[in-house]
A = this chain, B = another copy of it.
Amino acid sequence: MTKDTDAANATTLSGRAGFLLSELGSRSAGRFAVRLGPLGIAPKHYGLMELLSRNEGLTQQQLGTTLGIHRNVMVGLVDDLEKRGLAERRRHPTDRRAHAIHLTESARGLLPLARSIADEHETELLSVLDGPERAQLLALLQRLAAQPGRPADVHPGLRGSRP
């Protein structure tokens, strides 16, 4: 690819990585939300559950900080999970102001299902690429995501939900 075609592509928007990232990310999130629909949860709930499954008993504040979500928003998120019987607020063992958030049994049953839906989604998304290409893309994306000023495994990606 010559510099000329690069430049020509650049004004086509779809020649810019930033634009493609934004568009693909948005579409991907949208489709994932649709897939998750039958489970009665949105991508943000799945992300939260995934975090909880590895970190029982965190406070809402801690969850929020880890996920890059404001604590006021976490209230609603935990509300959602609680209403669907997927999480519960227990008394925090040492801080009576805080809640310790735990997954329910039901959530532990649902999580593998949600994971397999995420797998399907991933497969569909990457279906036009062969094995090595997928690995390559993943590696490149991870390097972009690892850039400084960017805490690990933290989302504003949870925003792009919209079911």
* A positions within 8 Å CB-CB of B: 1, 10-30, 32, 43, 47, 50, 54, 115, 118-119, 121-122, 125-129, 133-138, 140-147, 150, 152-153, 155-157, 159-160
Contacts and interface: CB of A to CB of B under 8 A. Distances in A.
Copies of this chain, count = 2
3 nearest CB pairs, A to B: A25-B25, A23-B157, A22-B25
Contacts of A15: 138, 142
Contact of A20 (B22, B133, B141): B141
Contacts of A146: 128
Contacts of A10: 115, 118-119, 122
Contact of A140 (B54, B127, B133, B160): B133
Given A21-B21, A121-B18, A157-B19, A144 B115 contact: no
